[in-house]
Amino acid sequence: MDFLVNPSLLHSATVAVPGDKSISHRALMLGSIAEGSTKITGFLAGEDCLATLAAFRAMGVRIDARDSTTLLIDGAGRGGLLKPGSDLDLGNSGTAMRLMCGLLAGQAFDCTLKGDASLSTRPMNRVVDPLVKMGARIDSNSGKPPLTLYGGQTLRGIEYRLPVASAQVKSCLLLAGLYAQGETRIFEPAITRDHTERMLRAMGADVETTSGWIQLAASQLLTGTAIEVPGDLSSAAFIMLAALLADDAEVLIEGVGVNPTRSGVIDVLRGMGADIELLNCREPGFEPIADIRVRSSRLVGGPVDPGLVSLAIDEFPVLFVAAAAASGVTRFSGIGELRVKESDRIAAMASGLRTMGIQVDETADGATVVGGTFAGGEVDSYGDHRIAMALTIAAMSASGPVTIRDVDTVATSYPGFADQMTEIGASLRILPAGATA
C-alpha cells in the first residue's frame, strides 16, 4: 500500500505510542528461557515482535496472550526449548535474527532462521564470526540469511571487542554467553542501548559493566519476572518531529521509555533548538520512563556530535527530516551503520528529500543536509518502515501532496501509525499499491 499525504495542520493533543520494539523482543526471548513465569505488559503487537513470538511457540514455549499487549510466558528454562518442526521465519526483523543466533547457538538441536526478501540481504557475519569463535557451527548464504545453526556444540566464553558499536551484536553474544563455559567479556567502542543487560539483571543474571566492558559470568540461570514495556521512543520520535514542525502545537506523549543509552534523538533535537521537556520521570521496573512534552519550535542546523550516533541510530530518518526543515546546514558523520539497515537509510532519505526539493549530499558514512522547504511529489520508502514514517512527517509540512510508496512495513514497528497521525491532524489517505490520487 501507499500513503497520500496532503499539507496538514497538526493540533495539540495527548497521545500514547505502541510498546518498545527492542524491549518486546528481548522480553519474549529471555522470558522463554527463564525458569518460571514472566508477565509482559505493554508488548508491541507489531509484525516483527509477532514473528519472534511465533518462533518461540514453535520451539514449545507456552505463551498466553491475555490481550494484544499482555503476555504470560511459561518459561521453558535454559535447556527446555524444543526443535521446531520447520524453519523459523523472522519476517523483516534483523533484531530477532541476530539475537536469536546467539540464543540458539547453544541449543541441542539444529535450526534454520530465515526472513523476507529484505532481511535476506542483510549482513549477518557480524554475529556469525564471533559466535564461531565461541564454538558455534553456523552455515549462511555468503554471510546473509538463511542461517542454519547446528546443535550440540560446546560454547566457550570469549573476550571480544566489537569492531562497530552494535547493541544487536552485543546482545547476541550475551545470549550465547548464557550457554557458554567460562566468562563472556565484550568491549563496545561506544555506548549502545543496554536493554539486554538491564533485563538479564532483573532476571537474576550476574552482569557487570565497567569502562566499556560488559562481563557475563558462566552458567547463568534466569528467573521469570514482571516486565513493563514502555512506549517506544523510536515511534514517539515521529510525533515529536510532527509537533516541532507544526505552526503552533503542543503534544504530550505519555509513558515513553527514556533509557539514557538510546535517548540521543532528544539530545540532538534539543541541540537544534527543539522545545522538549521530560515530565513525570519514573522507573517502575528496570527501564526509565517519562512523559514527553513537545512544543512547536524553530530548528537550526549545525554539525551533529558523532558521539551521539550510537544513542540515536534508529532515529536518524527523523533527524534527516529535522535537518531538512531547519535553517542552515546540518552535517551528519559516523552513521555508516545506516547503510545496512532495512534499507540503505542514508541513500533512501537523501533520495526522498531531494525529490521533495531539499539539497542532500552523501558521504560514505554521513550526509550534509541544507535546510529548505518541502515540495510535493512521489517518493519511495524502499520498503523501510522508518523511511516511510519519516517522509510522512515531512509531507505534512510540504507545499503540495506527497505520495509515499511501499509503506506496508510500517506495521512492523508502529501498528496504527496512519490512524494516530490522522487523529492529531495529518491529512493522510491509504491507497492501494501503485494507485494514483
Whether pLDDT at 275 is above 70: yes
Whether pLDDT at 371 is above 80: yes
Q: Give a yes or no: residue 358 inside a domain.
A: yes
Answer whether 83's CB lies under 8 Å from 110's CB.
Answer: yes
DSSP state of 183: -
Is 267 among the catalytic positions? no
Please report which helix (H) or strand (E) contains residue 239, including its range: helix 233-245
Q: What pTM was computed for the model?
A: 0.95
Q: Give a yes or no: residue 163 inside a domain.
A: yes
Whether pLDDT at 219 is above 90: no
pLDDT in tens, 7-33: 999 999 999 999 999 999 999 999 999
Whether pLDDT at 133 is above 80: yes
Whether pLDDT at 220 is above 90: no
Given 196, 228, 260, the domain boundary residue is 228
Quote the number of domains for the chain: 2
DSSP state of 428: E
Band the pLDDT of 230: cuts 50, 70, 90: very high
How far is 418 from 404, CA to CA, in rounded Å? 12
Band the pLDDT of 433: cuts 50, 70, 90: confident
User: 47 and 103, same structural domain?
Assistant: yes
Q: What is the mean pLDDT of the chain?
A: 96
Q: What are phi and psi of 357, to 5 degrees?
A: 90, 15
Band the pLDDT of 173: cuts 50, 70, 90: very high
User: 289 and 332, same structural domain?
Assistant: yes
The angle formed by the CA atoms of residues 243, 329 and 237, to the nearest 5 degrees, is 25
Q: Give a yes or no: residue 437 inside a domain.
A: no
pLDDT for res 345 = 97
User: 95 and 199, same structural domain?
Assistant: yes
3-state class (DSSP) for residue 144: strand
Given 206, 228, 250, the domain boundary residue is 228
pLDDT for res 205 = 96
pLDDT for res 437 = 61
Q: Give a yes or no: residue 269 inside a domain.
A: yes
pLDDT in tens, 142-159: 999 999 999 999 999 999
- Structural domain including 349 reads 2-19+230-431
How far is 10 from 381, CA to CA, in rounded Å? 23
CATH number, domain with residue 371: 3.65.10.10
Whether pLDDT at 101 is above 80: yes
DSSP state of 383: T
Q: How far, CA to CA in Å, does 52 sit from each of 60, 85, 136, 157, 304?
A: 13, 16, 21, 26, 34
Whether pLDDT at 240 is above 90: yes
Q: How far, CA to CA in Å, does 188 sit from each of 74, 100, 200, 239, 286?
A: 33, 20, 18, 31, 22
User: 354 and 387, same structural domain?
Assistant: yes
Catalytic hit among 2, 194, 314, 380: 314
Over residues 295-303, the mean pLDDT reads 97
Given 213, 228, 243, the domain boundary residue is 228
